[in-house]
A and B are shown apart, each in its own frame.
Chain A
Amino acid sequence: MLETKGLTVAFGGLVAVNQVDLSVSPGEILGMIGPNGAGKTTFFNLLTGFLSPTSGRVLFKGKDIAGLPPSRIASLGICRTFQITSIFPGLTVWENLLTGTYCWTQTRFLDTLLRSRGYAEQRREMERQAGEILEFLRMEDQKGARARNLSYGDQRRLEIGIALASRREFLLLDEPAAGMNPEETQTLSQVIRQIRDKGITIFLIEHHMQLVMGICDRIVVLNYGRKIAEGSPLEISRNPQVIEAYLGKEEDFA
């Protein structure tokens, strides 16, 4: 579904992402872990067009999307969430979800002006989609609440809701569990699994090991911008290089 080849970005002398080759297969949950500053979010920014790579390619369904603007990449089928909670704070939960449908709806000014049948049909479809997500995220009670007044965990769920409303087939989640309590994290794992079961491919960055190990089919480890390991959760947890990256090298103190 998505493939990167020798993906590299350098900021001056700092090579933030260095020659990363990686592929995501349809229907899987791929996790990306790595110490702080390893280049994970930068990597996501490269995939979604928020940054242009210095060299290398990003192939999405065979098409090179590296360097395209974010909105174009979204329209091709990729949606992302952000590390820092990113919602439409002044709008209600319901409006947030309706706004998320932008990708697959049309402007149809004449239809809207005349309130024609075409308008009503699109409106109904948008509301059906938003209602479905509301139910899926169990946020029906918050439908009319302004997003900025939601609890932190609810805001993060809403963020995923907006991404779902966009009906993209490939979802990038940047630390979805950051700052969540254990209960919320538990619910989140279930939500992510259910999203995958809807046929959406998921690629996520996460520091919460229990979550990553629990739901990912495969994990990629990044350190200093390089991919240092790739494999199943079990393989990764036993990989000496990964342990070293996280805990440091064992040394003899004689």
Chain B
Amino acid sequence: MSRRKILFLSGLILVLILLPWVFQAAYTRHILVMAVIYTFSAMGLNVIFGFAGQTAFGLPAFFALGAYISSLLALKLGFPFSLCLLGTMVLSAGFGFIIGYPCLQLRGIYFGITTMAFAQILYYIVSNWVELTRGPMGLGGIPPASFGLGDHFQFVFNGELRYYYLVLVASLLTLFFLARFMDTRLGRGFVAIRENQDLSASIGIHPFWVKMIAFMLACMITGMGGSFYAHFVKFVSPIEFQWYFIGLTFIMVITGGIGTIWGPFIGGAIFTVLPEAFRAVETYRNILVGAVLILIVIFFPEGIMGKVAQWRGKRTPPALERKNA
């Protein structure tokens, strides 16, 4: 890593650490937490859509699914938070396998549409299985996140500030894992399949299984976000499965920079904060968000991080460039 890059990254992280001290109101801190939580969704989508090039329209539904899994593990089985999170990661990847197996038999847009169909099925199951999920009434009373041993050493992440640092650390760790992961053979396999599936196969990459791993990883990361969401808001309902959310997640990834490491993180944060920031001018809120979106697409056609990579004189997506740094 170059010195400039270390400087840039530590500056960025410092800003992220200081943000809740600049915006001290409970409401603004709440938005900051949500912004970080949604970065999981964006990072997950980036794995399958940005790196592996598969348009998984249904993926954002795993956010809601993760939120439900985590809530149910806590409410029905009484799992502590750490096990809820771990269980959500494992089960999300498991559901990813079940859904990915039939969907990944198809290529391109057909794959995307089928994942969306499965997302709809999940929505109907969640809203109709009233005994388990309480249907449209949603699940309430989800315990807050806490870590510790036994009853005496519990550290509870109550309040926005504590939760902000919890999700920030988790999100940055995920980002770090992803960055390193993309430097492995398997990570290069993701990108190879995005670039040319037949050629990938001819140099020994099994398209189906490599895409499957990418999809499961994406589901896992997205599900994690859902878990953090559930234990923060302490209420989940089938509304989280909304189509609106699918579009928003794609916007986050595309405006941030498809297939870059930091892009989805930044895009995710921006498009959570923006709608809230414009709340003061309620009537024009969506128009303003739309205008910003259009401006980003015009001035940063390759996304914000794609543009940054250009400024730094690099013509390839930073995802792969990293390893030469």
1/0 per residue B165-201: CB within 8 Å of A? 0000000000001001101111011011011101111
Please, how many angstroms separate the alpha-carbon atoms of A79 and B203 in the complex?
A: 6
Grouping DSSP codes into helix (H, G, I), strand (E, B) and loop, the B interface class, with mixed when no group exceeds half, is: helix
How many contacts A-B (CB < 8 Å)? Answer: 100
| A25 is an interface residue with CB less than 8 A from chain B | no
Indicate if the CB atoms of B184 and A48 lie closer than 8 Å. no
User: Taking CB as reference atom, which chain B residue is nearest A162?
Assistant: B203
Q: Inside 8 A of B315's CB, which chain A residues have their CB?
A: 92, 144, 146
Q: Inside 8 A of A101's CB, which chain B residues have their CB?
A: 185
User: Taking CB as reference atom, which chain B residue is nearest A105?
Assistant: B185
Shortest Cβ gap from A226 to chain B (Å): 26
Tier of interface size on chain A = 35 or more
Tier of interface size on chain B = 20 to 34
Please, how many angstroms separate the alpha-carbon atoms of A204 and B312 in the complex?
A: 43
- The contact of B204 among A113, A144, A166, by CB within 8 Å, is A166
Indicate if the CB atoms of B177 and A86 lie closer than 8 Å. no
Q: Inside 8 A of A98's CB, which chain B residues have their CB?
A: 188
Q: Inside 8 A of B188's CB, which chain A residues have their CB?
A: 98-99, 102
Indicate if the CB atoms of B207 and A71 lie closer than 8 Å. yes
Indicate if the CB atoms of A112 and B204 lie closer than 8 Å. no
| A91 is an interface residue with CB less than 8 A from chain B | yes
Indicate if the CB atoms of A95 and B316 lie closer than 8 Å. yes
B108-149 at interface with A (beta carbon < 8 Å): none
- The contact of A70 among B177, B191, B201, B320, by CB within 8 Å, is B201
Please, how many angstroms separate the alpha-carbon atoms of A58 and B228 in the complex?
A: 53
Indicate if the CB atoms of A89 and B199 lie closer than 8 Å. no
- The contact of B192 among A79, A102, A112, A123, by CB within 8 Å, is A102
**A82-B192 CB under 8 A given contacts A108-B184, A112-B180, A112-B184:** no
Please, how many angstroms separate the alpha-carbon atoms of A101 and B199 in the complex?
A: 13
User: Taking CB as reference atom, which chain B residue is nearest A77?
Assistant: B204
Please, how many angstroms separate the alpha-carbon atoms of A216 and B317 in the complex?
A: 41
Q: Inside 8 A of A82's CB, which chain B residues have their CB?
A: 198-199, 202
- The contact of A102 among B180, B189, B194, by CB within 8 Å, is B189
Indicate if the CB atoms of A162 and B204 lie closer than 8 Å. no
User: Taking CB as reference atom, which chain B residue is nearest A149?
Assistant: B315
Q: Inside 8 A of B203's CB, which chain A residues have their CB?
A: 74, 79, 99-100, 102-103, 162-163, 165-166
Please, how many angstroms separate the alpha-carbon atoms of A91 and B189 in the complex?
A: 13
Shortest Cβ gap from B258 to chain A (Å): 11
Shortest Cβ gap from A12 to chain B (Å): 23
Most buried by B among A72, A81, A92, A146: A92
| A179 is an interface residue with CB less than 8 A from chain B | no
Most buried by B among A82, A101, A107: A107
Q: Inside 8 A of B192's CB, which chain A residues have their CB?
A: 88, 99, 102
Please, how many angstroms separate the alpha-carbon atoms of A140 and B185 in the complex?
A: 23
| B67 is an interface residue with CB less than 8 A from chain A | no
User: Taking CB as reference atom, which chain B residue is nearest A71?
Assistant: B206
A97-156 at interface with B (beta carbon < 8 Å): 98-103, 105-109, 112-113, 123, 144, 146
User: Taking CB as reference atom, which chain A residue is nearest B176?
Assistant: A113
**A75-B180 CB under 8 A given contacts A50-B198, A95-B320:** no
Q: Inside 8 A of A106's CB, which chain B residues have their CB?
A: 185
**A113-B180 CB under 8 A given contacts A99-B203, A102-B204:** yes
Indicate if the CB atoms of A109 and B204 lie closer than 8 Å. no
Please, how many angstroms separate the alpha-carbon atoms of A71 and B181 in the complex?
A: 21
Q: Inside 8 A of A40's CB, which chain B residues have their CB?
A: none
User: Taking CB as reference atom, which chain A residue is nearest B320?
Assistant: A95
Q: Inside 8 A of A74's CB, which chain B residues have their CB?
A: 201-204
Indicate if the CB atoms of B202 and A112 lie closer than 8 Å. no
Indicate if the CB atoms of A146 and B316 lie closer than 8 Å. yes
Query: Which 3 pairs show the lowest CB-CB distances between chains A and B?
Result: A88-B195, A74-B204, A70-B201
Instruction: List the interface of chain B (C-beta within 8 A of A).
Output: 177, 180-181, 183-186, 188-189, 191-192, 194-196, 198-207, 315-317, 320, 323-324
Given A71-B201, A162-B203, 11 further pairs, Cβ under 8 A? A50-B201, A69-B206, A70-B202, A75-B204, A82-B198, A82-B199, A88-B196, A95-B316, A98-B188, A102-B203, A123-B323
Q: What are some 25 contacts across the A-B interface (CB < 8 A)?
A: A49-B201, A50-B201, A70-B201, A71-B200, A71-B206, A75-B204, A81-B202, A86-B196, A86-B199, A86-B202, A87-B199, A88-B191, A88-B192, A91-B191, A91-B320, A92-B316, A94-B324, A95-B320, A99-B188, A101-B185, A102-B189, A106-B185, A109-B181, A146-B315, A165-B203
